Every structure is written in C-alpha cells, then in structure tokens.
Structure 1
Amino acid sequence: MFRWCTDEVEPRDRFDYWREVRAKGLFGVTAELARERRADFVGEFSLRQLGGASLVELKASPYTVERSTSDIAATPGDAICVYQQLGSGGWFGGIRASDFSIANGSFATSHTDLPYRTAPLGAGGFHLRILKIPLSTIPAQDNRMRELAPRTFGDPALAPLLAACFADLGEIAGAATDAGSAVQTSLVQALGHLALMERGVVRPGSRRGQAALRTARLSQARRLIAHHLQDPNLAPAMVADLLGVSVRHLHMLFETAEKSFSQTVTEERLEQSRRLMQEKPERLVADIAASCGFESLATYYRVFNAAYGMAPGDFRAGTTDRRYPPSWPLRTHSRPLGKPEPRP
C-alpha cells in the first residue's frame, strides 16, 4: 500500500505539489484552489492494488477538480470507476452528463475517459473511496462501458450489495495481512459487474450477473450476521428475510464459502467474546456470553473449549499474564462447532 499526505511538504508548497505531482501526475486531473486559500490546504490519500484494480481513499480540504479532454489525452485510463462518498457530500458535472450531487454513503460510477468536474459540497472537503477497474480485467466486454458518464448509483436493490462488497474490500485494504487474491478478484469483479448491471450493460440474469449477485449477497449476509450477533434468535430465516432471498438460497450462498452459516455465526460470536474479554476484563464471562448471543453459559463453555482447547477463564488469564497470544488460533472443524465428532 502506498500512503502520502501533505505533512511531507512545506506548507507553502503543499497545494502546488498536490496539484502538479499528485492530482495531475497520479490521478490525471486538474486541481484548482484560490491562491489565498492554499496556505491552509491539507490532504492525504492511500493507494492499493487489489484484485487487478486500484483502490484509493482520499481526504482533502475543499478544492475543485476537473478531468478535461487534455487531461484524458495525457493520462488515458480506460477503466470503470466506482466512487463511494464518505464525507459531507459532493457535486459532479460533465459535458455529457447533467449535474448531480452525491450524499454521504452513496455511490457513483463512470468511465475514466469522459470529461467531468467535481467539488465537495461541505466545508469538510473531500473524503471518498475510488475503485478503478481496468476494462481489460472485466470479462463482459461491451462498447457501452466507454460511454458511462458520471452518474449516481440509484438502484435501491443493488446499492446495499455494492456497499457490502466495498466495505469488505476496504477492510482487506486496511488489514495488516493480505487476503487471498481469489477473494480480492471476486469482490472487484462483483463490484464492476454490479455497477455495469445498474447502468444496463450487464443483465442480472446473465452468468456474470448471477455470479456478481452471489458474491455480493454472501458479503452482505456475513455483515448482517455480524450486526445481529447479540440476538439469540439469529437464524437463517432471519438473515434470509433481511437479505430478501429464500432460506434455501441463503444456504446455497454459504455452500460456496469456506464455512457454513452456523459455523460463521459461531466463529463470529467466539471472536467477539475474545475481544470483549481482552478489552473488558472486569466483565463476567456469563455477561460476555449472553452479550454475544450464546443461549447459555454451558453452551458457551463447550463451544469455546472445542474451538480453542481451553476454558474462557483460562484464555482471559493467559492474555493477562501473556502465556497465550491474543490471536490464539481457532481450531479447524469440518462440521459446526459444538457438535461431537463421530466415533470411529
């Protein structure tokens, strides 16, 4: 991952460096800011290659951005961009598109080589993620992909799926270790095809459309599980209803994953309980078990011991006196945790 911020440059030179070296040289855009405001300019960004795409997160003081025909000629991209607005909001306009605003948490898509202008709406400036997917890496080749002028992502059914994949990719980018390249590529391809689906280039019923929907729904299902861990009634029917699919379809999604639905729930609850024991050593183990959704203290002890080979109290003591590392490994199981293995 490459990171850079304006703290590395003298204050009087920060915006000029940002404009000439970072904006124009790296992103292929023209940045402008009134001279009297340049002394207060600050900005930072990170860039990481994931699954054949580039993921950028950018924060900066307010300024205006333009990708002109001359910028495009100098630095052609031939890629699909998916933008996630994280700040107070932004404005987009272009020669071939109507002006539009994009709210916090919303998305927009475009082809890189069409002119546009953009600026933040609030005093907080820019804060956004940009996923740039080269067209050469997208299996669904279609000339219409090069005609996608900037437009907000408006499909209410697809937007949550896009958000789930984007969140997973952001977590991979921020993790200390890399996830598998297959996982990265799957998420990038899903994001690209979801964006093209929303723009009418990829059909939802096509092979690529269905693959993107499966990846995104599995990503969203895992996030729904994590959000509802404290609910002891967390079950496939509950998640399927929130996801808008049948229970059978939900189980089919997890058939392609490393862990089943029940294993995913159990592992997430165990991981949460370990974090709580480390962060809140004063809390009772029974209280932690209940807060993580375990139906009883006996169940929690049995499942924890099956996963880690020790009781919760021993784990807590070990993390306190450093006999055991905080990242004590989870035992691998070929069946849901807590169920006895068959005797030979």
Structure 2
Amino acid sequence: MFTWSSDHIAPHERFEHWREVRAKGMFGVTAERDGDHDGEFRGSLTLRPLGSAALVELHATPYKVARTQADIVAAPSDSLCLYQQLEGGGWFEAGRGGRFITPRGTLATSYSDLAYNTVPATAAGYHLRVLKIPNGLALTKRAHELVASPLDERVPVTALIQSCFSDLVETDNSIGAEETELLVEALGQLVLIARGVAEARSDASRAALRVGRLSAARYIIGRDFDHAALSPAFVAGQLGISIRHLHALFEPTGQSFSQNVTAVRLAEAGRCLRQNAARPVADIAFSCGFDSLATFHRVFRAAYGMAPGDYRRALAEGG
C-alpha cells in the first residue's frame, strides 16, 4: 500500500506539489484553488491494490478538481470509478449528467474518461474513497454513457453494491485474493446493472447478483444478529428473493444460513465475555440473539470446548 502526506513538504510548496505530482501525475485531473482558499494546504492519500482494481482514500483541504478533455487525452484511464463520500459532501458537474450533490455516505459512479468538475460542499474539504475497476473486467461498449451520477438508493441493486463495496474496502486484507477479485468483478457488473447498461439476465449479471445477495445477506445477519427472531424468511424478504434462493446462496460457502448466524452470535458473545468480566452470562447470551441460555451453553461449548463461565475464568487466569 502506498501512502503519502503533505506534512513533509514546506507549507508554501504543498499545493503546487499536490497539483502537479498527485492530481495531474497520479489521477490525471486538473487542480486549482480559489483566492478564498489561500490558507495552508494539507492533503494525504493512500493507494491500495485490490485484485485488479485500485482503491484510493483521499483527505484534502478544499480545491477545485476538473477532468478535462486535455487531461483525458494526456492520461486515459479506461476504468469504471465508484466513489464513496466519507465526510462532508461534494458538488459535481458532469456534462450530460447535470449537477448533483453527494452527501456523506453517498456512492456515485462514472466512466473515468468523461469530463467532470467537482468541489467540496463544505469547508472541511475532501474525504472520499475512489475504487477504479479496469475496463476489461466490467465495462461494455456503452461505457461512454456512464457520466458521473449518484446511485439511486431506491433501486434494489444499490444495496448489493453498498454491501460488496464495504466487504471489499473495509476488510484490512482479511479476505483472500480469489474472493477479492470476485468482489471486484461483481461490483463492476452490479454498477452496470444499476446504471442500466447491462442486462440483468446475462450470465455475468446473474453471477454478480449471487455475490451481491450473499454479501447483503451477511450484512443483514451482522446488523440484526441480536434479534432472536432473525430468520431466513426475514432476510429473504429483505433481499426480495425466496427462502430457497437464500439457502442456495450459502451452499457454496460450506456454511449454512443458520451456521452463519450462530458464528456471528458466538463471535460477539466471546468478545463480550473477554471485555466485561462482570456482565452476567445470561445477559450476554440474550443480547447476542440466543433464544435460551441452554442453547447458548450448548453451541458455545461446541465451538470453544468449554462453558462460557469457564472460558471467562480461563481468560482471567491467563489461560
């Protein structure tokens, strides 16, 4: 992973370096500052390869960014871009896509080699992530139609994109290369579906939807594991699929839906036991979604080889 910060550069040279070396040299964009923003500039970024894609996370004080036709000719990228606004907001102007604001948490997409202008919507400046997926993996001959645009959260596939994106960028390299590439490919295809330039019934789209729905199902389990009533029917309803389809999503993973739920609950129970020695075991069990203390003891012993109380005592004794 590549990291860079303006802190090691003299204050009066920071923005010039950022403009020429980082903005134009790395990203192929034109950066300019208004007189209103002539104070000390600060910027930092990380660049992390994720399979065949690349993830950039960027912090910077306010300035204007433009991807001009001259920039595109000088530094073509031929990629699908997925943007996530982490803090503040951003204002975009994107040719035929018109103008729009990206609030905190918003995901937006575009084809890299189309012109746009953007500035931060607040004085806090930029804090965003950009995932760039090479054309050969995801895009079609209709890439030129993908002017910058926010994803519509009313479209069901957007939730799948959000879940896959989170799985990909927030794992701290805890997933393997094969799963990483699977997520990259799925994300690219799901974006094309969301933007209306890919047929949802194609083989590539069906495969991407399976990956996205499995990711979203796991997200719902992680969010709602503390509800004892969490069931296949509830999760399937959230995803708009049948219960049979939901179970089929988990089959290739080697862990059923119920096993996945139990694993998440046990992991949280173990964390609670480690971090709060005074909290009653029964309270932990019910707060983690187990519907009875007997069930909790049985599955905990099967997973850890001892009862919850013994586990806690072993930790206290340094065992």
Please report the TM-score for the alignment, with normalisation by the length of structure 1: 0.87
Task: Kindly indicate whether the alpha-carbon contact (under 8 Å) linking 1:11 and 1:39 is maintained by their aligned counterparts in 2.
Answer: no
* Aligned-pair CA distance for 1:105: 2.0
Could you tell me how far apart the structure 2 residues matched to 1:279 and 1:56 are? 34
Give the 3 Å change call, closer, same or farther, for CA 291–17 of structure 1 in structure 2.
same
Task: Kindly indicate whether the alpha-carbon contact (under 8 Å) linking 1:272 and 1:292 is maintained by their aligned counterparts in 2.
Answer: yes
Could you tell me how far apart the structure 1 residues matched to 2:226 and 2:96 are? 49
* Aligned-pair CA distance for 1:167: 0.8
* Aligned-pair CA distance for 1:316: 2.2
* Aligned-pair CA distance for 1:78: 0.7
- Aligned residue in 2 for 1:333: none
* Aligned-pair CA distance for 1:41: 2.2
Could you tell me how far apart the structure 2 residues matched to 1:156 and 1:256 are? 27
Give the 3 Å change call, closer, same or farther, for CA 242–96 of structure 1 in structure 2.
closer
- Aligned residue in 2 for 1:22: 22
* Aligned-pair CA distance for 1:35: 5.5
- Aligned residue in 2 for 1:126: 126
Could you tell me how far apart the structure 1 residues matched to 2:35 and 2:311 are? 59
Once the two structures are superposed, the pairs formed by residues 81-160 of structure 1 within 5 Å of their partners are 81-138=81-138, 142-154=140-152, 156-160=155-159
SS, match of residue 253 in structure 2: coil
Task: Name the aligned partner's letter for residue 190 of structure 1.
Answer: A
Once the two structures are superposed, the pairs formed by residues 241-260 of structure 1 within 5 Å of their partners are 241-260=237-256
Give the 3 Å change call, closer, same or farther, for CA 26–253 of structure 1 in structure 2.
same
* Aligned-pair CA distance for 1:162: 0.9
Task: Kindly indicate whether the alpha-carbon contact (under 8 Å) linking 2:155 and 2:194 is maintained by their aligned counterparts in 1.
Answer: no
- Aligned residue in 2 for 1:326: none
Once the two structures are superposed, the pairs formed by residues 212-223 of structure 1 within 5 Å of their partners are 212-223=208-219
**Deviations 1:210-239 (Å, cap 9, x if unpaired)?**
111111111011010111111111111111
- Aligned residue in 2 for 1:238: 234
* Aligned-pair CA distance for 1:151: 1.7
Could you tell me how far apart the structure 1 residues matched to 2:244 and 2:141 are? 37
The percent of aligned pairs where both chains have the same amino acid is 48
Could you tell me how far apart the structure 2 residues matched to 1:75 and 1:214 are? 35
After the TM superposition, which of the residue ranges 16-25 and 223-232 deviates more from structure 2?
16-25
* Aligned-pair CA distance for 1:36: 6.5
SS, match of residue 290 in structure 2: coil
- Aligned residue in 1 for 2:315: 319
Task: Kindly indicate whether the alpha-carbon contact (under 8 Å) linking 1:15 and 1:38 is maintained by their aligned counterparts in 2.
Answer: no
Task: Name the aligned partner's letter for residue 163 of structure 2.
Answer: A
Task: Kindly indicate whether the alpha-carbon contact (under 8 Å) linking 2:158 and 2:194 is maintained by their aligned counterparts in 1.
Answer: no
Could you tell me how far apart the structure 1 residues matched to 2:286 and 2:174 are? 33
- Aligned residue in 1 for 2:162: 163
Once the two structures are superposed, the pairs formed by residues 19-58 of structure 1 within 5 Å of their partners are 19-34=19-34, 37-58=37-58
Runs of 4+ that moved beyond 6 A: none
**Deviations 1:98-141 (Å, cap 9, x if unpaired)?**
22222222222111111111111122221221110011223xx6
SS, match of residue 117 in structure 2: strand
Quote the RMSD (CA, aligned, Å). Answer: 1.7
- Aligned residue in 2 for 1:293: 289
Task: Kindly indicate whether the alpha-carbon contact (under 8 Å) linking 1:145 and 1:196 is maintained by their aligned counterparts in 2.
Answer: no
**Deviations 1:184-205 (Å, cap 9, x if unpaired)?**
1111111101111122221111
- Aligned residue in 2 for 1:303: 299
Task: Name the aligned partner's letter for residue 298 of structure 1.
Answer: A
SS, match of residue 47 in structure 1: strand
SS, match of residue 40 in structure 1: coil
After the TM superposition, which of the residue ranges 9-18 and 250-259 deviates more from structure 2?
9-18
In the alignment, structure 2 segments of 5+ residues that lack a partner are none
Aligned with 1:224 (options 216, 220, 226): 220
Task: Kindly indicate whether the alpha-carbon contact (under 8 Å) linking 1:12 and 1:38 is maintained by their aligned counterparts in 2.
Answer: no
- Aligned residue in 2 for 1:278: 274
Give the 3 Å change call, closer, same or farther, for CA 14–243 of structure 1 in structure 2.
same
Could you tell me how far apart the structure 1 residues matched to 2:124 and 2:36 are? 18
Task: Name the aligned partner's letter for residue 168 of structure 1.
Answer: D
Give the 3 Å change call, closer, same or farther, for CA 147–10 of structure 1 in structure 2.
same
Give aligned pairs, total. Answer: 318
